[in-house]
Structure 1
């Protein structure tokens, strides 16, 4: 039988994975109930215990408002938990197939501490059916308990927007679902206690999983459309942003802009939905064609810069080019799946000396993840400058002051600077 709904004396929560999703969630629950925030990264736990969040999502003072939180890198800390929330990454492999290794590893660990009446809730983005078809069998096998008799599952897809200080976890409406009607009510009321924006109870776990998958696939397809427009208008010698600004005067025009699509969500989640579609015999043409367009944008950017340099009479081999920004989005240190790294390596293939400056990125993470060493300062030394990420710190830059001669190319991918200061926009 399920624990009684929201009794403070009996609910003991364990949040597995303390990244952009898990940490804010754990801190919110830690305001009300005993909560263990678990992560396998010992350094991460040590920093959190000291009240420091390397992702910059949580301010140091915020830790004091969660009196019931405990951070741990030992799984034994989960012994007393009866509600487990799994928020580990679900990436893709080099063949763009779902990689469930972290999810299934976390599931196996949770199962070792799962007891009768326990509830396991997943927030990691997956394809429809993954919770019940892939995770539940592991929970049953390792725990020896029976699904929907001895333990229950829920799903509540994360909607965290890294770098957004307004739409924080409590201020974003939360989808909830459970494996039985009683489990669904429990999950919904559990989240309802911390989510001030409210909750939406989906009719099943599969519906909740599918909703999350299409949220990001929809945005990916829309961005791919305007990216394709950029490819077309480049050949027609038309400024894409001029076209979008003109079209945007119509009341029902959707205002998407072209650019690089990276990160752990939009550039990954559509492949999960495509994988599931293909497993039931349907080849998703729109989703995958959109992915191809967006995946090819770094090559387009690099080639356009090189062509502009050649046209300006700048020798390409041995030229110095500066990339401003390496993270996947502005005002955020996350460098997972950043497309700027692909621009870097593409330009290097032309024999260009590529330099990268980013005040938000963690240098060691960039080195480990992408093999790139960040600059610590800027100089007037570049034959080409590319604004790749629109961090606030770049808004006040005199971007032309970074160029070593008048012919240098300034490529503004984010349409941030005054047009008189740049050579071209995306």
Structure 2
């Protein structure tokens, strides 16, 4: 398979061209013939014009690439090596939503031929590739795994907004349905990944490795969030505590914060779901999720307390929220906990102004029903800096004073500033 792909006798198809699929497709298109497939025709039209709908990639990366963008599933018939990079979110009840993954499996199954490969990159729970996706591939194609085609799993490790650790510079885990599949898949990915390839012993191991990467980060942050809540009750600055404790050689410096996005705030639910299906109710993972999901409510109530302490009515308060994307310097607003914080504040009848230089006003309105204003006004009772965009890091206390009225409150959720003014109330997680 590898040699046929390299000689462009066969093609690679990437299914799902979001923040994961598009960079992979363009990287492969340096060396192979690639079909880039997405069900969203508008996104396909943008990519044909050399535009990244996720605003992560420069237009120059589309140049001199052997890639054909399409929204027509019939075009998948021309491919022999399929890579699935569709989203795997959770629904309103925190249950894994496999509809995009199942849909992609049906589309590939209809195009599957003898000798083909199917590799999944979407984050799933251990067992999903073989237990949920494989039966669809076999039913749609009439083919049998091993005898007719092979599968694999290679978890995505894209880091949005990171211009240093690009896709080729991040170690890649691969796995296959048998030894031959593992070697072929490793060779194909090895052509574009300069950081190296790690061969997992089984598909389930590779799936589990991916889901615990973000579960571990989620739990680490939840510990710091819980400590921040406790220390706030004690009147102790959490960042000062962390800096002091960090002087010990084996203390790991981690910081509290809002946990959103499509990875850390989502992946643990996949592991929770699978564990419960097996009859085990995880305690630690669930507790971590509960703490992190509850942080917007904690911050909102803390601000209300501070407003009341200053003799201000929350119903008459005007608050500026700076940042709604799920992390700094990206446009992605999926699963933004800032949106939850805005709605928590609005539940107290607080007037909230929302700004973000990276977010799309249309997407914010469509996804959360919130209005993004062009620029801050004046006379705010409080300002909450919720995302660490580079442009915000250059601001100082005097700037915030200039847009606030008497008895101002600055809530610094990223711990970016130092309070040097006695006539401003400074609070951070």
Do Structure 1 and Structure 2 share a fold, with TM-score over 0.5?
Answer: yes
User: Are 1:243 and 2:241 an aligned pair?
Assistant: yes
- Alignment partner, residue 400 of structure 1: 400
User: 1:52 offset after TM fit, Å?
Assistant: 1.3
- Work out the CA distance in 1 between the residues paired with 2:289 and 2:269: 8
- Alignment partner, residue 184 of structure 2: 186
- Work out the CA distance in 2 between the residues paired with 1:34 and 1:6: 7
The 5-angstrom pairing of residues 44-123 of structure 1 reads 44-65=43-64, 67-123=65-121
- Is the Cα–Cα contact under 8 Å of residues 381 and 406 in structure 2 kept in the other structure? no
The 5-angstrom pairing of residues 300-311 of structure 1 reads 300-311=298-309
SS of 2:332's equivalent in the other structure is: coil
Query: Which structure 2 residue ranges, 5 or more long, are not aligned?
Result: none
User: Are 1:423 and 2:421 an aligned pair?
Assistant: no
- Work out the CA distance in 1 between the residues paired with 2:340 and 2:45: 32
- Is the Cα–Cα contact under 8 Å of residues 353 and 376 in structure 2 kept in the other structure? no
- Alignment partner, residue 254 of structure 1: 252
User: 1:319 offset after TM fit, Å?
Assistant: 1.4
User: 1:310 offset after TM fit, Å?
Assistant: 1.0
The count of corresponding residues between Structure 1 and Structure 2 is 424
User: 1:292 offset after TM fit, Å?
Assistant: 0.5
- Is the Cα–Cα contact under 8 Å of residues 6 and 32 in structure 2 kept in the other structure? no
User: 1:401 offset after TM fit, Å?
Assistant: 4.0
Deviation track 1:184-225 (CA, whole Å, cap 9, x = no partner) reads: 111111100100101100001000000001100000000000
User: 1:381 offset after TM fit, Å?
Assistant: 2.8
- Is the Cα–Cα contact under 8 Å of residues 152 and 179 in structure 1 kept in the other structure? yes
- Alignment partner, residue 414 of structure 1: 414
- Work out the CA distance in 2 between the residues paired with 1:200 and 1:410: 46
Over the aligned positions, Cα root-mean-square deviation in angstroms equals 1.3
Structure 1 runs of 4+ aligned residues shifted over 6 Å read none
Deviation track 1:155-185 (CA, whole Å, cap 9, x = no partner) reads: 0000111111111111100000001111111
The 5-angstrom pairing of residues 133-282 of structure 1 reads 133-282=131-280
SS of 2:405's equivalent in the other structure is: coil
- Alignment partner, residue 295 of structure 1: 293
- Work out the CA distance in 2 between the residues paired with 1:96 and 1:20: 22
SS of 2:63's equivalent in the other structure is: helix
Q: 1:363 aligns with which of 361, 364, 369?
A: 361
SS of 1:336's equivalent in the other structure is: coil
- Work out the CA distance in 1 between the residues paired with 2:379 and 2:146: 65
User: 1:4 offset after TM fit, Å?
Assistant: 5.2
- Is the Cα–Cα contact under 8 Å of residues 174 and 200 in structure 2 kept in the other structure? yes
TM-score w.r.t. length of structure 2: 0.96
- Alignment partner, residue 318 of structure 2: 320
- Is the Cα–Cα contact under 8 Å of residues 8 and 32 in structure 1 kept in the other structure? no
- Work out the CA distance in 2 between the residues paired with 1:39 and 1:63: 16
- Work out the CA distance in 1 between the residues paired with 2:37 and 2:417: 43
TM-score w.r.t. length of structure 1: 0.97
